[in-house]
Structure 1
């Protein structure tokens, strides 16, 4: 699938052993494949809800994405002052999402919002500690960025993330090796609205709808831009995106549910 620039930068090509699709015990026909030959399995991400008292619209059993037409809605740069509005929308539509959080100025600033994400059945993962580009820093610093971001989440919700979204989608063999050692998989995306470049909610919606297919991973941003130049159309676009995709027969799931019954493979890159 095409590489999509994140915040105006291009994804680095990952050096991998081979690209393996899941067999019958994996993602089936949903199109999601890892780009790494690792066979070791990571522990399941605890806290991924299959039903929630906070969200009575949520089915008691997660969808079987080998048969259902699934899509995962993900948000980068969480949490922010706008996250409660996003959570309100997701609750209203009975949708669970995966939030890739930043530790330093986000998780530490809004721990109550992070707790709400987890309590309402959303998947809380990491985008690192401070959004440093992992391919441009030393291996020791890259490992520190990942572990500090992961541990900031664990301090709030009681368990460590097992999924990493590398900032700007940039990864390489060194980052992959670090993730494998830490028991973490990497998650990129298949549909992006470049919502960091526009405040036009209609344009954001149309871009996502044009790029989304079965097994897709949608990238949106959860960030308040102090310059008021970008991100500010995202919240208003979410209801239309959800409604249109549901009308097309899509079921919204978290990343872990999209992979089920297989588990995220440490070091693998999912896109």
Structure 2
């Protein structure tokens, strides 16, 4: 989960003593390379982009993106049924260990039904606590597992608990991954009350928003029909994260947050 409270405690990244002048140069290189952990609003990159947006143009309609973290799980097939019935696309940030490797057919179905398949690391560590090689392994292992099942490597990732920094951004850039945070979370890891999950989500919903939910918790999937129905009633159009950015394309290493 981006905000989930599970997983092994990661070892702290070792701190090297580096001369101030070298730090300044490194910061400049990162900034010029587009790998800063500074947050970028999807609406701002979309507004600056030229060209056709595709089937949905969020410059003209009121868009919102449903995203699900840390699956797939036992309830994901039911969630996919709901999304199919409602004709709603979503973005799934998949966890490798005990999820992608446990539910390969569900991963294939997510991709086949037109949802965006994205990376949420292999074992859900806090990436900012890891050495660079550890960060790279967590992301690349999940990239490879998803590619084996779907034929395509993800272009998006979500760092666990939303924790990122310039090192995570640089490695994400190397792996072709843009980083995606969120604008509203129902904190569904802390409750099984579907009505509360629905209300928290609706209270935070706004134009160009990115909703964070988890399809691995018992209260979440039952809340989704009510969330979709109310947001449709309010005039929202559901899109994947890439559709929210279009006609701009996700830039590897960049951190997107509404």
- Superposition TM-score, scaled by structure 2 size: 0.82
C-alpha distance after superposition, 1:27-66 (max 9, x if no partner): 239xxxxxxxxxxxxxxxxxxxx9xxxxxxxxxx621001
Q: Does 1:117 align with 2:136?
A: no
The equivalent residue for 2:192 is 199
* 2:40–2:254 contact (8 Å) kept in structure 1: no
Candidates 211, 217, 229, aligned match of 1:218: 211
SS at match of 1:196: helix
Residue number in structure 1 paired with 2:239: 253
Shift of residue 184, structure 1, vs aligned partner: 1.0
Aligned to 2:4: 7
Distance in 2 (alpha carbons) for counterparts of 1:201 and 1:17: 34
CA contact (8 A) 2:40 2:256 kept: no
Gaps of 5+ in 2: 7-34
Paired residues in the alignment total 225
Query: Is the CA contact (8 Å cut-off) linking 2:70 and 2:95 kept in structure 1?
Result: yes
- Which residue of 91, 95, 101 corresponds with 1:98? 91
Cα distance in 1 for partners of 2:163, 2:244 equals 22
Offset at residue 187 of structure 1 (A): 0.4
Larger Rg: 2
Question: Which residue does the alignment assign to 1:27?
Answer: 46
> Structure 1, residues 152-190: CA drift from partner, whole Å, max 9, x if none?
110100010010100111111110111112221000110
Mapped to 2, the partners of 1:263 and 1:204 lie a distance apart of 31
Q: CA RMSD in A?
A: 2.3
How many Å separate the matches in 2 of 1:175 and 1:63?
A: 31
Q: Is the 8 A contact 2:64 2:208 kept in 1?
A: yes
Check whether the contact 1:205–1:241 (CA below 8 A) recurs between aligned residues: yes
Whichever structure has more helix as a proportion of its residues is 2
Runs (4+) off by over 4 Å:
17-24
**Gap regions ≥5 residues in structure 1:** 10-14, 30-49, 51-60, 224-230
Counterpart for residue 266 of structure 1: 252
For residue 62 of structure 2, the aligned residue among 60, 69, 72 is 69
Q: Give how far 1:130 is off.
A: 1.1
Equivalent pair of 2:42/2:208 in contact (CA under 8 Å): no
Q: Does the 8 Å CA contact 1:101/1:127 hold for their aligned counterparts? A: yes
- Structure of higher RCO (CA pairs closer than 8 Å, 6+ residues apart): 2
